[in-house]
Structure 1
Amino acid sequence: MFTLNSRFLTQNLTGVQRYAYELFKQINKRTEDASYVLPAQPVIDKYEIPEGLKLQKTGKYKSHVWEQLELPAYLNKLAKKPLLLNLCNTAPLFYKNQIVTVHDIAYMRGNWHSRSFRSLYKVIIPTVLKNSKHVITVSEFSKAEIMDAYKIAGDKISVVYNAGFSAPDIEKSDRGDLELKYPYILSVGSIDPRKNLKRLIKAFLNLKQTDFTLYLTGAYNANFKTDPELDVLLKNNEERIVFLGYRTDAELIYLYQNALCFAYPSLYEGFGLPPVEAMAAGCPVITSGITSLPEICGSAALYCDPLNIPDITSKMDNMIEDSYLRENLIAQGYENAGKYSWQLSGKLLMDVINNYI
């Protein structure tokens, strides 16, 4: 028997929460020996809970206070303290019988996050890494980063990858209320400095062809610093650069399918899910040749130097002008995306869990 820390069901469905949600579904399919505990808050409507599945709500607090105080208090009252599985970076600091997932250590690698976020994570992450029985992460790159930063043995860390859209997901593609101008280039991700949107926008404005639109989708994340210069760039170029905000999976798939290419010059990724999503939807990818992205994208992407605006422009120009390049990357992208599936990741996760229950 084990317990899943299900606090993510009360949070917006972004990258880390998507990982947890997809594995939550895999756990539910694979075992009846799991319980699901979360704060006494409504489940966000973007999450579909299997019919008949019991969610145990407890406590009166929310967020980190619930996780640090009320979750371990609940577990400690049980006759046998269960193994606790945490999938979203944080976990109770001093509960020993647990597995923790750390997606990356970006908070140590750049000045992208708010001071309060960095301060919190510099306390939480090393403590839960030390006190957990095992650690899960999402790439060999992140595993090496965690080993180096915290001097943790490699055999204490398992890699359980993210995955992109499945074939049934792709079939649900839906334009929704999108009103698009063609042709366009797409970028997807939270609106934060790590995604390098300022350089992407400046590079886009230098394209040889000026009849393209750049669509940005995602949500602002309070954990990251705001950037007034980015706001000005968006405002001053709103005819050619359009922020679409948060979109459903069906709309996102439609955007991928109809884009000339996907541009993702990120400065740091522990995995980098949007490029894999784009590949699964048949969209050729431009991305950074740093951090985890070469590991995850392999030969199926056109790589750029994310710090070099002319190079980002050049790679977009190449993609626009060379249909053979696009067709080749689409074919390789389908193959690469097929390496990742939530079914396989669910199996790998259960293998880890079964070693500790």
Structure 2
Amino acid sequence: MKIAIDGRNLRSPTDGIGRFVHNAIKALAAQGADVVVYAPDVVSESYDIPPGVSVQSAGFTGPLARIFWGQSVLPSLARRNRVEVLWGPSHRLPFVLDSRIARVVTIHDLVWRHAARTMRTRTLMGECLLMKPALRTADVVVADSTATASALMAEFPWLKSPVPTVFPGTATLPTPGDVSSLELLGITRPYALFVGTLEPRKNLANLIRAFGLLSDGTRAGCDLVIVGGKGWKQTGLADLVRAGGLEANIKFTGFVDDGVLATLYANCLFLAMPSLYEGFGFPIVEAHSFGKPVLTSNTSSMPEVAGDSAVLVDPNDPVAIANAFDRLSTDTEFRKRIAAGALSNAGRFTWENHAKGMLRIFEQAIGQRRKTSA
């Protein structure tokens, strides 16, 4: 089975989907799969592509050029290399592809349907124009979570078959450093941790409002550390912090490397992630892998991913977020009880399991394609 993978997301080492694709490639290669990766532009040097995996990149940069590459160069390469299945690991497939090639697409979320106002206009337009044709073209559509799979079936009842769920894995983070190393980031007190790109969907404004509702005593015993690169429409967060007089308690670290991230997870009291919408929610599993409890939302995939090791809240209710935050930060026994199953929950999500699940999907898609083209 020769598997082709659309590698357009491998250009940036900080791209969440890029990291997903990179880990999936490594896991498939570890299973002995014959993998070729097609990319419109150079692949970031930060991604260590395994030996034996062929990478064919071109010089197409910019959004429009990448769309052109995906609809012309990519299907041409797949036909020329006689691949058996083409995998679009993030919402995209060529409109036209050699009829002998099976096609599989993974859908991570339906943000454009359920939280469109939290998206950049360009991204929203791309999803509106390109996701639905990919769903129609695919032999098999795969989702990251059963929440997303159910949403797909409800939104697009014409899909060819039930949408299977293949959970992604999470990267193994390095051994954490000593808590004293966090002093360089200005972190000297116990803290709750947020991890993610700073963008509207992450609901940071309500998290900051909720933190401002806490008593002085609670805030004195638990800071809020916000980790992640700047996204968009979040320039007002610093103003919100200043307006609440919270500068001494809320720390913005920006993007950090995996070593620092591991240290932050290992030493936090809990993860605070009351997103408006998530297709999966990698920080939940990462926090659980360090045995930490989670405060997250009662919407989309988050309850499914968090299992029993989380406190679920309405993300649109700052008072509910504040109440959960208060209890997790002040009640040690409650925090331990919520964290009790964290490690076992994290064990559900491995890249080995993801690769095995995808190989079964690829075989299914190839079988279906052979029947339809016979």
Q: Same fold (TM over 0.5)?
A: yes
Closer, same or farther in 2 for the Cα pair 1:60/1:210, shift >3 Å? closer
**Structure 2 stretches lacking a partner, 5+ long:** 367-374
More displaced, 236-245 or 110-119?
Answer: 236-245
- 1:23 maps to a residue whose letter is A
1:268 counterpart = 2:274: no
Other-structure match for 2:112: 107
Other-structure match for 2:154: 148
Q: CA deviation at 1:232?
A: 1.7
1:287 counterpart = 2:299: no
1:56 counterpart = 2:56: yes
User: In 2, distance between residues paired with 1:226 and 1:5?
Assistant: 29
Other-structure match for 1:202: 209
Q: CA deviation at 1:91?
A: 2.7
Secondary structure class of the residue paired with 1:220:
coil
Q: CA deviation at 1:205?
A: 1.7
User: In 2, distance between residues paired with 1:297 and 1:216?
Assistant: 20
Q: What per-residue deviation string (whole Å, max 9, x for no partner) do you get for residues 144-168 of structure 1? A: 11111111447352211123354xx
- Counterpart among 185, 190, 212 of residue 183 in structure 1: 190
Q: CA deviation at 1:188?
A: 0.7
Q: CA deviation at 1:179?
A: 4.2
Contact map agreement 1:173 1:254 (CA 8 A) in 2:
yes
- 2:330 maps to a residue whose letter is E
Q: CA deviation at 1:329?
A: 1.9
Q: What per-residue deviation string (whole Å, max 9, x for no partner) do you get for residues 158-184 of structure 1? A: 211123354xx3535575864422111
- Counterpart among 319, 340, 364 of residue 331 in structure 1: 340
- 2:57 maps to a residue whose letter is K
User: In 2, distance between residues paired with 1:154 and 1:328?
Assistant: 43
Other-structure match for 1:123: 129
User: In 2, distance between residues paired with 1:162 and 1:260?
Assistant: 25
Q: CA deviation at 1:354?
A: 2.0
Q: What per-residue deviation string (whole Å, max 9, x for no partner) do you get for residues 194-253 of structure 1? A: 1110000011122222323211111233xxx51443242245543322211112222112
Taking structure 2 as the reference length, the TM-score comes to 0.86
More displaced, 263-272 or 45-54?
Answer: 45-54
Secondary structure class of the residue paired with 1:171:
coil
Other-structure match for 1:132: 138
Q: CA deviation at 1:139?
A: 0.5
Q: CA deviation at 1:52?
A: 5.6
Other-structure match for 1:68: 71
Other-structure match for 1:25: 26
Other-structure match for 1:171: 175
Contact map agreement 2:270 2:294 (CA 8 A) in 1:
yes
- Counterpart among 86, 93, 96 of residue 95 in structure 2: 93
User: In 2, distance between residues paired with 1:115 and 1:40?
Assistant: 23
Other-structure match for 2:230: 220
Q: What per-residue deviation string (whole Å, max 9, x for no partner) do you get for residues 70-105 of structure 1? A: 2123234x1635421111222323336321111111
Taking structure 1 as the reference length, the TM-score comes to 0.90
User: In 2, distance between residues paired with 1:63 and 1:277?
Assistant: 32
User: In 1, distance between residues paired with 2:339 and 2:19?
Assistant: 24
More displaced, 336-345 or 175-184?
Answer: 175-184
User: In 2, distance between residues paired with 1:334 and 1:68?
Assistant: 42
Secondary structure class of the residue paired with 2:71:
helix
Closer, same or farther in 2 for the Cα pair 1:34/1:191, shift >3 Å? same
Secondary structure class of the residue paired with 2:219:
coil
User: In 2, distance between residues paired with 1:352 and 1:79?
Assistant: 21
Identity %: 27
Q: CA deviation at 1:50?
A: 2.4
User: In 2, distance between residues paired with 1:171 and 1:32?
Assistant: 30
Contact map agreement 2:35 2:53 (CA 8 A) in 1:
no
Closer, same or farther in 2 for the Cα pair 1:317/1:354, shift >3 Å? same
Contact map agreement 2:186 2:251 (CA 8 A) in 1:
no
Closer, same or farther in 2 for the Cα pair 1:327/1:246, shift >3 Å? same
Secondary structure class of the residue paired with 1:55:
strand
Q: What per-residue deviation string (whole Å, max 9, x for no partner) do you get for residues 95-116 of structure 1? A: 3632111111111112111223
Contact map agreement 1:139 1:161 (CA 8 A) in 2:
yes
User: In 2, distance between residues paired with 1:250 and 1:149?
Assistant: 40
Secondary structure class of the residue paired with 1:84:
strand
User: In 1, distance between residues paired with 2:76 and 2:142?
Assistant: 24
Secondary structure class of the residue paired with 2:161:
helix
Q: CA deviation at 1:258?
A: 0.7
Q: What per-residue deviation string (whole Å, max 9, x for no partner) do you get for residues 301-335 of structure 1? A: 01112111111111111012211111122221112
**Structure 1 stretches lacking a partner, 5+ long:** none
Q: CA deviation at 1:53?
A: 4.0
Contact map agreement 2:108 2:143 (CA 8 A) in 1:
yes
More displaced, 299-308 or 84-93?
Answer: 84-93
